[in-house]
Structure 1
Amino acid sequence: MLVSYEWLSQYVDLEGISPEDIGEELNRTGIEVEVIYTRDAGVSGVVVGEVLSVERHPEADRLNVCMVHVGKGQQLQIVCGAANVAKGQRVPVALVGAKLPGGRIKKARIRGVESNGMICSAKELGLPDKVLMKEQTEGILVLGSDAPVGEDVKNYLGMNDQVIELQLTPNRSDCLSMIGVAYEIAAIFDRELRLPDVLIQSVYDDVTPVKITLESEEDCPFYAAQVVHNLKIGPSPQWMQNRLISAGIRPINNIVDVTNYVMIETGQPLHAFDYNQISDGNILVRRAHPGESLVTLDGVTRTCDDETLLITDGKQPLGIAGIMGGESSEVTEKTTSVLIESAFFDPLITRKAARKLGLRSEASNRFEKGVDPERIIPALARAVQLLQQIAGGEVGSDITEERIGEVDDVVISLRHDRLVNLLGVQIEEDEVLDIFRRLNFPVQSNEGVYDVQVPTRRPDLALEVDLIEEVARIFGYDRIPTTLPWGQQPPGGLTREQKLRRITRHMLRNLGMHEAVTYSLTSPEADREIESLHSSAQPIGLANPMSNERAVLRTSLLPHLLEVAAYNVNHGISRVAIFEVGRTYLTEEKKLTALPDERLELGGLFTGGPDSTIWKKKRSPAEDFYTAKGVLEALFARLGVEDVEYREAAPKGFHPGRTAEMVLDGEVIGLLGQLHPKLAQKHDLADCVVFQLDLAKLFDAVNDETAYQPIPRFPAVTRDLAMVVDKDVAVGEVEEGIREVAGELLESVTLFDVFTGAQVGEGKKSIAYSLVYRAMDRTLTDEEVHEIHGHVVNYLEDVLGAKLRQ
């Protein structure tokens, strides 16, 4: 909302109050002021002049030599190149030494003829084209005949006016009008409000017929209209044009300008129909028929549906209710009679229609937020009054209105003790009553309870706390003392899951990985590229996705990690090691009837070569596989999770021979493996290793009790063990057997060699372990170690069919 300081001063005494003061107080009371600016673009030394004569330049066909009267008996010879300059015009004249946005004006000789100044165009004065009539943007700016010769042109064009731009929240629709802002300013500064006198006019003889029918009562419960005859179409007075330009509205003609002026003044949108284009003066408000169309004032054919409200005459559409009028009933130069419309249209249907049609207007902006029903008739009367004053109109009918029901009074009770408790400051009852007086809220007080009648212009007030907010902001937030919270406050802390998530993130960062945060929404194609931990999960689609790339909720973290890796590699990052801790959304229903299961998961990715060094070492996929495996095992160790097994797997999107699933207590908790070469090639990635882990299942297995284990005091005994086994025997099975047979004296088992080849035989492999034995209370003897180690060897030979290597 653009608020003209000059216009505002007509309703409130602003003596001693600057625009900056208004901006500061509005910000302090909850209405944001975005900027305060002046319409003056840096103009000085420009006056109103009268063109006395125009003669052709003797040396140039396109130039004219003009004699211009600029006041105080002074006449100047000025060379002008504008085609529209003519004798008798009032024009802006920049005197020698004048300052314009384009520079200073100097005395000059143009093709041998002296020129003492310049006749200015609107552009040269810095006036924006968007708020000027078309004829004012071509050639020099021709002023009205009432422009006083010799006066500073800034005074005549209102360029000294300052504009306050408000950034309103949707609930403050009352400030979408000059009168609404005036109420606010009068309350803040405790100044008297001076609203214009409005007289409702009637006709006793020769009444022009107007008949209003509300077919869609719920969409338009109140519609009023009045006819004005004998209008003379022409430009509006300059004072009205200045105010409209300050409000950001382009002047068009006196009829349209009056409706726009009253809309900005009162907040009630109006529309003027050419009465002669309305069949028998009939107005029918109804929903559009599916596929029905009309040409709006912008010349575009709009096709409507049954959720669009139309104004018709029973035969043809005249306009889209609350948004824009139709071209068929447009006010033109031939118009002599108009029907002025003032109504209340349902905000919801107005918003829907404006959105579907892609058509927003100043009127729809106000109807969407709700207009004041008590201003419908006064706004109509005000428009008729102005049409009489500036367009010579004569009232042709009484105000004809059709309404459904009455507007109920809204009375809210406010308890004084509740007000004091919430504000935390002792405020006297007399001061509260004075604040309601300043707000123009009728109030009655009885034993500490205020019964406040809320005006219809303030639909945002409905509850007791709303009134408390009104009192607080007028009282002054800066007057409310700052106090510390009191009472017993529970100590803060992290939940178990939050602690474990933090440990997981810190651990992975410390191991050299970078954390990524990606969207929870993905595309259906990306979500199907790689198998999630929950293969039966169905994608959950959005009802109205912004794009196909963000159309479904993710069931895996890996697709977006692939996108992040590809982006980094394409931007010159040679080594990518990233992870993400986030939610996936799972359901087995094809049509969602219940909330999905939100699972906390961990995804990770390694790709690219080693960091640049002088050693040209090539990284193999196996290295990244074991790097990722090592990272996960370090995480498991940090969380105190033991006995995680790795089993061969071949899920979709993974390399079929280089993938394992992680199993804990017989349940799959994650996947680790190389990305399938075709999928890696699709994302322009080299060998890529990824993992995904169900953190919810992992955290369930975390042992929260931490036990201290002292540093061993006694020495350990190490025995190496090499054997040949069948190729399909899993090393995990071998390790498990060794631990079970060796018992508690076995401290660790480390696999340090795996070999396959002709030397060990077809279908065989050689594996070697380092076994460490230690007792916590004594030094082991050779006999004890030899006996335990012998049991291990016997187990491997008898149960697993291993053959020891010497």
Structure 2
Amino acid sequence: TSRRLLDKPTDASMRFSRGLSDTLPPLALDRASALIAELGGGRVLRGMVDDHRGALPPIPPIEIPDGALERVLGCPVDSSEAATALARLGFSVEQDGGALRVLPPHFRRDVRILADVAEEVGRSLGYARVPSTLPGRRRPATELAPHPPVEDRVRDVLVGAGLDEAITYSFTAVAAAARLHGLGEGRAPIPLRNPLSEDLSVMRTSLLPGLCGALGRNLNRGVSDVALFEIGRAYWEGERTAPPPGSTPDGADAALPPLPEEPLLLGMVSQTGDGRADTVAARLRDLQSVLAFAAHDLAGVSVTIEPQEIPGLRPGRSGRIIADGAAVGVIGELDPDVVDGFALRGRVAAAELRIDGLVPQVPPAPRFRQPPTQPAVQLDLSVTVPVDARMGTALEIAREAAGELLESIEDLDEYRGEATGTRKSWTFRLTYRAADRTLKMTEAQARHDAVAAALETRLGAEVRR
């Protein structure tokens, strides 16, 4: 009562609010008075001043039906043994066959129900008696487990590739949104009515400005070679085509202001501090590989990069990410002006992918594929090509020329230097396999030679011997 009136919590109020007995203070006072008289020569007067508005209600007895303790604890419990254990703890126990009538001691107001008594019995007799069982009810599996959220699947891929996750504000500055558009190209950011500050005055249309800000803060604190990703939503005004989640089926909320489209995006930035073109090119290939793996894992599709000039990205080192003929993202090196605008250092590779434009609404059911029973033949191919040649074009030519025996093709390396002059060098690894027989080396070499000839004819490649 004093705590509520004065709004001053005390140690006593905290203890009594947890259900301590009101019979404990007189016992404590008697003991303290005896110590004062014995050790300090004090004189104890009769009586006690008790500013207590009323005693707490008496503790009611608890009825324990026969077999109830066994059902709660999950192991056999003899009623006489339980009564003896409770009596040792100060409980008053009346036994009638297998049933018990238990009255807790005055200082155990926390024991109120059957489960409390069962806990005391189990603790006294030892929990080692309780057998180990699996939790919950067991039933046969009749369906597959639900798919994990797509964000978790993407996050697993990115973390496994060595990137660190960042979580940035859904708001950004007007200047930052205009400096780097990403997938928000051509879209005006939505202004806030009550912005927290000028730097957080509009809703973001891309994740890349926020990631660049996080990248800059890491660099300013001495972190080098930073690689960050973020999974989040952007806000595109006037592009929503379906009712937002939570809409009423009767259409009563149709008169409310329309909500923006909220696409689920993946943004990535990777910084290198040495300023070398070949280093940032390697970072771009790393991001491209991660995107390709994520697209295959999420939707079972292959992605290609179509070179294009993207605002905010360096010309000649930027392009759109294409999946099934549709543009689903952008990738490239940040333009030097953008790097300076965000107060970054070195060179930065960036990519942004629209996840919900890539992943189907209903995830495809998993299908079993028989592991290969025949050995594969792996052959490498190194060629030099014109400096403006496209990797995607080379891969398409190689797949067409190799035919059905080609299981996979992987670009291992790109080199530019004095040894190649005005050209660049690519190295591919091609895996050949026949499903019904052991593939002979002569067959694989014939397909390999066909790939080399097709690249020479259609791409102007020269095979490096």
TM-score range, shorter chain: 0.5 to 0.7
Per-residue CA distance 1:676-726 (angstroms, 9 max, x = gap): 2122123332212222111112322975424345255424153636365x5
Tell me if structure 2 keeps the 8 A contact 1:722–1:805.
yes
Alignment of 1:280-679 (within 5 A): 496=147, 498-588=148-238, 593-609=257-273, 620-639=279-298, 641-679=300-338
Q: TM-score, normalised by structure 2?
A: 0.60
**1:714 matched residue in structure 2:** 375
Hey, what's the Cα distance between the residues in 1 that align with 2:374 and 2:330? 40
SS of residue in 2 equivalent to 1:587: coil
SS of residue in 2 equivalent to 1:630: helix
Tell me if structure 2 keeps the 8 A contact 1:727–1:765.
yes
1:730 Cα deviation from its structure 2 partner? 1.6
**2:359 matched residue in structure 1:** 699
Hey, what's the Cα distance between the residues in 2 that align with 1:731 and 1:618? 18
Name the aligned partner's letter for residue 351 of structure 2.
Answer: F
Hey, what's the Cα distance between the residues in 2 that align with 1:657 and 1:569? 26
Per-residue CA distance 1:639-667 (angstroms, 9 max, x = gap): 36332001212222222222222110111
Hey, what's the Cα distance between the residues in 2 that align with 1:554 and 1:478? 56
Hey, what's the Cα distance between the residues in 2 that align with 1:560 and 1:758? 39
1:630 Cα deviation from its structure 2 partner? 3.0
> Which one has a larger percent strand, Structure 1 or Structure 2?
1
Counterpart pick for 1:749 among 409, 414, 430:
409
Hey, what's the Cα distance between the residues in 2 that align with 1:755 and 1:19? 74
Hey, what's the Cα distance between the residues in 2 that align with 1:624 and 1:188? 75
1:531 Cα deviation from its structure 2 partner? 0.8
Tell me if structure 2 keeps the 8 A contact 1:603–1:690.
yes
SS of residue in 2 equivalent to 1:624: helix
1:594 Cα deviation from its structure 2 partner? 0.6
Hey, what's the Cα distance between the residues in 2 that align with 1:477 and 1:526? 59
Change (3 A) 1:678 1:717: closer
1:795 Cα deviation from its structure 2 partner? 3.8
Change (3 A) 1:534 1:501: same
SS of residue in 1 equivalent to 2:352: strand
Hey, what's the Cα distance between the residues in 2 that align with 1:618 and 1:656? 13
Tell me if structure 2 keeps the 8 A contact 1:581–1:603.
yes
1:487 Cα deviation from its structure 2 partner? 12
Aligned length: 341
**1:279 matched residue in structure 2:** none
Per-residue CA distance 1:593-638 (angstroms, 9 max, x = gap): 411111111112212449xxxxxx9983223222322333343344
Hey, what's the Cα distance between the residues in 2 that align with 1:495 and 1:541? 38
1:530 Cα deviation from its structure 2 partner? 0.7
SS of residue in 1 equivalent to 2:183: coil
Change (3 A) 1:479 1:585: farther
SS of residue in 2 equivalent to 1:696: coil
Alignment of 1:244-259 (within 5 A): none
SS of residue in 2 equivalent to 1:598: coil
Larger RCO: Structure 1 or Structure 2 (Cα < 8 Å, ≥ 6 residues apart)?
A: 2
Change (3 A) 1:759 1:676: closer
SS of residue in 2 equivalent to 1:602: strand
**Structure 2: any 5+ residue segments left out of the alignment?**
20-51, 58-108, 117-135, 240-255
Q: TM-score, normalised by structure 1?
A: 0.36
1:501 Cα deviation from its structure 2 partner? 1.6
Hey, what's the Cα distance between the residues in 1 that align with 2:277 and 2:451? 39
Change (3 A) 1:741 1:477: farther
Hey, what's the Cα distance between the residues in 2 that align with 1:188 and 1:689? 74
1:805 Cα deviation from its structure 2 partner? 6.0
Change (3 A) 1:741 1:595: same
Identity of aligned pairs, percent? 30
Per-residue CA distance 1:713-770 (angstroms, 9 max, x = gap): 424153636365x5433221121122123222112323456566898787x6554544
> Which one has a larger percent helix, Structure 1 or Structure 2?
2
Hey, what's the Cα distance between the residues in 1 that align with 2:408 and 2:387? 24
Hey, what's the Cα distance between the residues in 2 that align with 1:522 and 1:624? 26
Name the aligned partner's letter for residue 577 of structure 1.
Answer: A
> Is 1:690 aligned to 2:346, yes or no?
no
Counterpart pick for 1:784 among 407, 429, 443:
443
Hey, what's the Cα distance between the residues in 2 that align with 1:502 and 1:654? 29
Change (3 A) 1:527 1:757: closer
Tell me if structure 2 keeps the 8 A contact 1:739–1:746.
yes
Hey, what's the Cα distance between the residues in 2 that align with 1:576 and 1:721? 32
Name the aligned partner's letter for residue 565 of structure 1.
Answer: L
Hey, what's the Cα distance between the residues in 2 that align with 1:787 and 1:653? 45
SS of residue in 1 equivalent to 2:153: helix
Change (3 A) 1:785 1:656: same
Hey, what's the Cα distance between the residues in 2 that align with 1:539 and 1:742? 48
Name the larger-Rg structure.
1
